[in-house]
Homo-oligomer: A and B are copies of this chain.
């Protein structure tokens, strides 16, 4: 709308205005020089979703999709849901150097842990924007990362990396980050309801108990017996107790820079559904804190955020209502008998828990409307 302002103020010649207008016009119409993006490693469940989201995004052109497994195959052959809608794209096997030399401006890394570094360490110095969906750059403390994930393959990039959960991370990242680490699925479902309350001192810092129930796609497209239909249908079980990798990420985000770290109990479970995470957090109220104070904190922190829905106390989020959207629904109750708050949240592990959040990050990083391609 720069054009409109100039016109109204008589500050520009008509020619100049037309140039600006056309630029805006084309930009909005999609004939504009839209930003070229690429996805590296797109054959998992979150990678597939990322492809779909970017193909439909009004401000980007998906210019490259790489996968060593599927190099040479048309997108629709690997992702049948995209038949007739894959713009004729073909998976390529491009290496990092070739991609760095291309005119693609931003890359999404949808590779397994450990594999992202190989590409990041070439693309970032080349000036490309990089959004990583793996855990490789989520954890600032190298020792912690290595304890949970093994050797880090690009620790030199950690200082220029930023962990970005858009609703919670202070906006300086848009300027500081050279590489953005998109949060994990469970962490998203936990941090959104919990982190603001810890920061505001509304909840206790100890005796935090997190239980999460996730759809099976959260485990990835691993071809293992435990993920067979006949094993997972009509089945619910806890897994990864005490040692789930997301624990490191959650605790690092919740802990203050100075002072003792926050330590939580994190109990993940597999649920007999494909997508969605329902998280229930039990945490003692800070002395004197009320449910009204909790809701006031949420409303303040999430004011104007398009992807967080605060439900009234007494209602509970249902994964079925968020699956397919980039939304987190949250709610809370206060139990006067135990003096606990019970916080509940629901997200789609593949959307707001992974690919949708990655696109939301891109939107903010590149100046697009935050909801572009994610309505």
A-to-B contact residues, CB < 8 Å: 4, 7, 14-15, 17-18, 21-22, 24-25, 28-29, 45, 55-56, 80-81, 83-85, 207, 209, 211, 213, 215-217, 221, 223-225, 227-239, 241-242, 263-265, 267, 269, 271-276, 278, 280, 282, 284, 306-307, 309, 316-325, 327, 329, 333, 335, 337-338, 340, 342, 344, 346, 375
* In the bound complex, CA of A265 to CA of B213 (Å): 18
CB contacts (< 8 Å) of A306 on chain B: these are 84
Complex partner residue of A274 from B224, B230, B309, CB under 8 angstroms:
B230
Please report the C-alpha to C-alpha distance between residue A241 and residue B273 in the assembled complex, in whole angstroms: 22
Contact between A274 and B238 (Cβ–Cβ < 8 Å)? no
Determine whether the beta carbon of A213 is less than 8 Å from that of B7. no
Query: Roughly how many angstroms separate A236 CA and B329 CA in the complex, as a whole number?
Result: 13
**Contact among B25, B213, B237 with A346 in the assembled complex (CB-CB below 8 Å):** B237
List chain B residues, Cβ under 8 A from A280: 211, 238, 267, 269
For residue A267, which residues in chain B have a CB less than 8 angstroms away from its CB?
A: 211, 280, 282, 342
Q: Are A263 and B231 also in contact (CB < 8 A) when A273-B236, A316-B238 are?
A: no
Whether B271 and A272, one on each chain, are in contact in the complex, defined by CB atoms closer than 8 angstroms, is yes
A233-B274, A335-B265 known; A83 vs B329 contact (CB < 8 Å): yes
User: What chain B residues lie within 8 Å of A316 (beta carbons)?
Assistant: 237-239, 241
Residue ID in chain B nearest A28 by CB atoms: B29
Chain B residues with CB under 8 Å of A83's CB are 309, 321, 327, 329
CA distance A269 to B282 in the complex (A): 14
Q: For residue A221, which residues in chain B have a CB less than 8 angstroms away from its CB?
A: 225, 228, 230
Whether B213 and A223, one on each chain, are in contact in the complex, defined by CB atoms closer than 8 angstroms, is: no
- Minimum CB distance partner of A218 in chain B: B230
Chain B residues with Cβ under 8 A from A317's Cβ?
A: 237-238
Asked whether, in the complex, the Cβ of A235 is within 8 Å of the Cβ of B265, the reply is no
Which residues of chain B are within 8 angstroms of A320 by Cβ–Cβ distance? 81, 231, 234-235, 237
CA distance A322 to B83 in the complex (A): 9
Residues from chain B with a CB closer than 8 A to the CB of A229 are 216, 227-229, 231-233, 272, 274
Q: Are B242 and A342 in contact (CB under 8 A)?
A: yes
Which of A7, A236, A237, A269 gathers the greatest number of chain B CB atoms within 10 Å? A236
Q: List, in ascending order, chain B residues with CB within 8 A of A309's CB.
A: 83-84
Of B45, B84, B211, the residue contacting A230 (CB under 8 A) is B45
24 A-B contact pairs sorted by A residue (CB < 8 Å): A18-B18, A21-B21, A28-B29, A84-B327, A209-B209, A211-B267, A215-B234, A216-B229, A223-B225, A227-B228, A231-B320, A234-B234, A234-B320, A235-B319, A237-B316, A238-B344, A239-B316, A241-B333, A242-B342, A263-B337, A267-B282, A269-B278, A271-B271, A272-B273
